Each structure stands twice: as structure tokens, then as C-alpha cells.
Chains A and B, each alone.
Chain A
């Protein structure tokens, strides 16, 4: 089954876009997602392979349209919902 992350050799993508003096994170929330992922894996709520799997299972259009840390956040929430740690309703603030 082809997954959207497996892009090695795929044709049609544009020139590589570069940002001069790029910061590690473009917004605070990205930094929080990065640190949160490490903390949750450290606590054993899921492992790194499950995390990569969850990113890969994002629908292809969502995968391509999402920024790097948006992909991470979607993957983390889908894992936590699937494992019954949080619910969609709770995440929505209900």
C-alpha cells in the first residue's frame, strides 16, 4: 500500500525552497508540539514507530497540505484518541 510519505524518486515536486536564517520553530505551538512528542514517547504512551505510522496514515491530501509540525500534531492527537487517552470532544473543548 503506497503511503504519501514515501516520496523518494517521485517526480513533479518543485524546486527546493530555502528560508534564510530560519528559526528552529516558526511559532511557539510548534516548539510545544516538538517537546510534547518527546515527553509522551518518554512516558511510553506510544513509541517512535507508532508516531511515524500515524503521520503516514494522514490522508494524502492532508499530508501534503500540512506543515511539518501540523503533521506531528495531527499524528499525536490521532494516536491519543485511538488509545483512549483523550476524546475528540475533549480536544474540541467540550
Chain B
């Protein structure tokens, strides 16, 4: 199974809010960022923490502008996110640029 996203792709972090363990931090949920690079394939911790079967899936370093995340700041925050946490944001999707 290949990777859904590649470097430069615009993606939106899911607005999920699960009751179980997850590794998508609240501060990125719903934010649009840019894929920096793929970072291997690993089982989704939402599943392995509950001892459910979990096939390795791609993880990506995704870069967000501080303005997109917090409404202020001139820095970026790059977060490592499993593919399940991401949706394509597509061309023309607005995000707060630097």
C-alpha cells in the first residue's frame, strides 16, 4: 500500500476528538499544513494502545504556520502525524501563511 501524500501536499489535520489514546495533539486539529516528508510506517497508536490489530501506515512530518495554529507568531511547528489523522486540503484551500 503506497503513501497517500507526498512532500508539498496541503493537508488538513482531522478534527477528531476521541475518548481513546491518540497522537494527534489538540493544537493541530482542523489546521491546514504542508507535508514536509514521509517518516516511515507505523501501527496507529489509537489501535495498538487498545491491543487492536494495527497494520503499519504512513506517518508524515507536516508543517503548520504559527498563525494557522494560534492566530499569532512568525514561526512554524512541524508535527509527525499518521495518515489516518490527515485529509487532503486540496488546491486553493486557505490556510494562514507565514
Contact = CB atoms under 8 A, between A and B. Distances in A.
A56 B18 CA distance: 13
Contacts of B70: 9
Given A9-B69, A9-B70, A49 B26 contact: no
A8 B27 contact: yes
Nearest to A51: B49
A87 interface: no
Given A6-B26, A8-B25, A9-B70, A1 B17 contact: yes
B45 A52 contact: yes
Interface residues of A, number: 11
Interface in A53-80: 53, 56
B27 A49 contact: no
Contacts of B20: 53
B91 interface: no
Contacts of B49: 47, 49-50, 52-53
A49 B21 CA distance: 8
A2 interface: yes
27 contacts: A1-B17, A1-B19, A2-B17, A6-B25, A6-B26, A8-B25, A8-B26, A8-B27, A8-B28, A9-B26, A9-B69, A9-B70, A47-B48, A47-B49, A47-B51, A49-B21, A49-B45, A50-B48, A50-B51, A52-B21, A52-B45, A52-B49, A53-B20, A53-B21, A53-B49, A53-B50, A56-B21
Interface of B: 17-21, 25-28, 45, 48-51, 69-70
Interface pairs A-B: 10 shortest CB-CB: A49-B49, A53-B21, A9-B27, A53-B49, A49-B45, A8-B27, A49-B48, A1-B19, A8-B25, A6-B26
